[in-house]
Structure 1
Amino acid sequence: MTKIDTIIFDLGGVLIDWNPEYVFLDAFNGDKEKMKWFLENICTMQWNENQDAGYPTKQATNDLVSQFPEYKKYIKMYYGEWEHMLRGEISGTVKILEALINSNNYKVIALTNWSSETFPIAQKHFEFLTWFQGIVVSGNEKTRKPFKEIYEITLNRFNINPEKALFIDDNIRNIKAANTLKIKGIHFKNPEQLQNELTTYNIFIK
């Protein structure tokens, strides 16, 4: 097996617990069905990913308000209350990240789908974001995972050999896209599973 020399982390869902439900469950007075319908039909993940690829959040909000004026209050909450969607760090993964960095055996990079407008808020909250040798933020690049371009940007910017790189993401779609560029991947489910799967690449966390 080719020795891994670079580890690329996704952020949301891997290192950071981010979820719109933390805002909208309260907004809909605990009615999970109403919340689920709203997030699947109005402020959808596909809509959010458009902003992750660089579309302005204010324009995106106005677009939806024009389309669904009866939901104006809730649509405006999405980015208005965005900071409250950040619950905290996923501590088990942060410990793994710290161990990998302290080992000095790997180049450790982050590749995240994140709006350039909201990412500075996360940077204020999470000190571990300063540990990476580099972070590629989709909103700054005007593209996002799973599109090939953002992986190529990451590889080229940090002089990464894809066959010696390992990518960790909670979305299997993004892992499969990385695989097409010969980047190995781990589909993240929880820190314990991640630590176990790292051993298959001869990466051991002390």
Structure 2
Amino acid sequence: MTEIRHVVFDIGKVLIHWDPEIPYRRLIPDDNERARFLTEICTPAWNAEQDRGRAWAEAEDLLIADHPDHAEMIRAFRVNWPEMVPGHLEDSVATLEALLDAGWDVTALTNFAGDTFDVARQRFAFLDRFRGTTVSGRIGLIKPDRAIYDHHATAFDLDPGATLFFDDTMANVEGARAAGWHAELFRDADGLRADLRRYGVLPA
């Protein structure tokens, strides 16, 4: 196996919790109505365009034009975004910090809107410990597009064949592999540590 010299982490659902249902359980108590709103109006695909760099005001205006009766709930998505992030995944962050303390080269590659990433940085000090972070919303590229992996590798002088990436979405893992990286699907901290041991990053 190629010696790993660089470790790259996704952030959402790997190091910090993110669940848009949290504020909407309060805002839309009916389970069926809430599910319809989050799957048919403020959809994951709609939110992904903010991760690609679209401004929230533009995103809201476009959606409200199609769903004027839901204007208040649409605007509530960004207003209540901090509530969607109730905390960090303690075991994952402990593993990250152990790698950093041991001197490993660790960076982050995340699909995140630029402004909400700044909100997260203010809350989670460990996000400033990476050697560097590529935030999709700031460069107009998004996982799993090949270009964002190439951008990250170039920006931080990574050898793709010596890079190990962790992400909670299989499409993003496959995108990294297509770019020549080693990549594994994150399920939980135990699996993360097992993969790190398998690649020789952590002691067996």
TM range (shorter): over 0.9
Distance 1:103 1:68, change over 3 A: same
Kindly tell me the number of residue pairs found equivalent between the two proteins.
204
Task: Report the alpha carbon displacement of residue 83 of structure 1 after superposing the two structures with TM.
Answer: 1.1
Structural mapping, 1:105-120, within 5 Å: 106-120=104-118
Task: Report the alpha carbon displacement of residue 203 of structure 1 after superposing the two structures with TM.
Answer: 2.1
1:40 and 1:195 mapped to 2: Cα distance?
33
Partner of 1:35: 34
Letter paired with 1:90: L
Task: Report the alpha carbon displacement of residue 121 of structure 1 after superposing the two structures with TM.
Answer: 0.5
Letter paired with 1:39: L
SS of 1:33's equivalent in the other structure is helix
TM-score (norm 1): 0.96
Partner of 1:23: 23
Task: Report the alpha carbon displacement of residue 205 of structure 1 after superposing the two structures with TM.
Answer: 6.2
Task: Report the alpha carbon displacement of residue 32 of structure 1 after superposing the two structures with TM.
Answer: 2.5
Task: Report the alpha carbon displacement of residue 167 of structure 1 after superposing the two structures with TM.
Answer: 0.5
1:51 and 1:134 mapped to 2: Cα distance?
21
Partner of 1:181: 179
CA-to-aligned-CA distance 1:167-201 (integer Å, 9 cap, x gap): 00000000001101110111001111111122110
Partner of 1:4: 4
Moved over 4 A (4+): none
1:174 and 1:91 mapped to 2: Cα distance?
23
Q: What's the Cα RMSD here?
A: 1.2
- Contact 1:57 / 1:117 at 8 angstroms: preserved in 2? no
Partner of 2:201: 203
Does 1:124 find its partner at 2:122?
Answer: yes
CA-to-aligned-CA distance 1:59-92 (integer Å, 9 cap, x gap): 1011101110111111010011111111101101
The 10-residue stretch of structure 1 (194-203 or 11-20) with the greater mean CA deviation from structure 2: 194-203
1:156 and 1:48 mapped to 2: Cα distance?
27
Structural mapping, 1:24-63, within 5 Å: 24-29=24-29, 31-63=30-62
1:34 and 1:101 mapped to 2: Cα distance?
44
Report percent identity of matched pairs: 33
1:70 and 1:151 mapped to 2: Cα distance?
40
Letter paired with 1:77: A
Q: Which runs of 5+ in 2 are unaligned?
A: none
Partner of 1:150: 148
CA-to-aligned-CA distance 1:30-67 (integer Å, 9 cap, x gap): x3222221111100111101010111111101110111
TM-score (norm 2): 0.97
